[in-house]
Amino acid sequence: MATYEDDHNLPASSTSLKPIPRRPRPDLSNFFSSLTLDSTTPSTSTIPSDETPSSAFTSLARAWQQSIEGNEVLESLIEQLIEEAQGGTTVKGVSQEFLDGLERIPKKELVEADICPICNTSFLLDQYPLVVRLPCHKSHAFDLECISPWLKLHTTCPLDRIDLTKKKTPPPPPADEEEEDWDDNYG
């Protein structure tokens, strides 16, 4: 079979410069198909290496890289793009394990007046309410369906903005209680 170099009357040695001589042709369908992936899909996605939105840009960058080899400016731009895609641009949210591990509130503990702060609807309007409690405060209860999309993109409680991924601060030392006692006396 005739190589690219044969066709274009180039010395065959130029192939040795390329780290991978036979790459697949640029294919933007990868890019567009990965864009349609739900970015909030947890990491148990069916496409293991493509679960982050940044992978779409990585594949785009690779496609460009193949089509414009030799242009230094564009190549440096592409390198930058790849670096950024691999670096800090990941969506920061909690893991599926975190969501699965949230404390469930049984239906019998709920009353009519308990509403989800996100949908503003009483939990009991749903015949089978799936309600979870966030670890920051015992009154911070949400429909799992409402809190999940938020926590997949953010790690904070919507009611007090406490970062749920941070370790809980240790209980206040006894010195604090003494101070409160003193306040009581003072008041």
Nearer to another protein, 62 or 152 (CB): 152
Other residues' Cβ atoms within 10 Å of the Cβ of residue 25:
7
Least separation in angstroms between residue 108's CB and another protein is 25
Q: How many CB atoms sit inside 10 A of residue 120's CB? A: 8
Q: Which amino acid is at 184?
A: D
DSSP labels, 172-186: PPHHHHHHHHHHHHH
Residue 26 or 158: which CB sits closer to another protein?
158
For position 161 contacting another protein by CB under 8 A, the verdict is yes
Report the residue count for the chain.
187
Query: What is the CA angle 20-14-86, rounded to 5?
Result: 35
Query: Does 159 engage in binding with another protein (CB under 8 A)?
Result: yes
Is 168 near another protein (CB under 8 A)? no
Q: Is 67 in the site for another protein (CB under 8 A)?
A: no
Among 3, 89, 90, 121, binds another protein (CB under 8 A): 121
CB of 150 to another protein, least distance (A): 5
Size of the site for another protein (CB under 8 A): 13
Q: Which is nearer to another protein, 59 or 156 (CB)?
A: 156
Say if residues 125 and 83 touch (Cβ distance below 8 Å).
no
Alpha helices in the chain (DSSP H): 4-7, 28-35, 53-67, 72-86, 96-101, 144-151, 174-186
Instruction: Determine if 162 is a binding residue for another protein (CB under 8 A).
Output: no
Among 26, 42, 135, 158, binds another protein (CB under 8 A): 158
Residues in contact with another protein by CB under 8 A are: 117-121, 146, 149-150, 153, 156, 158-159, 161
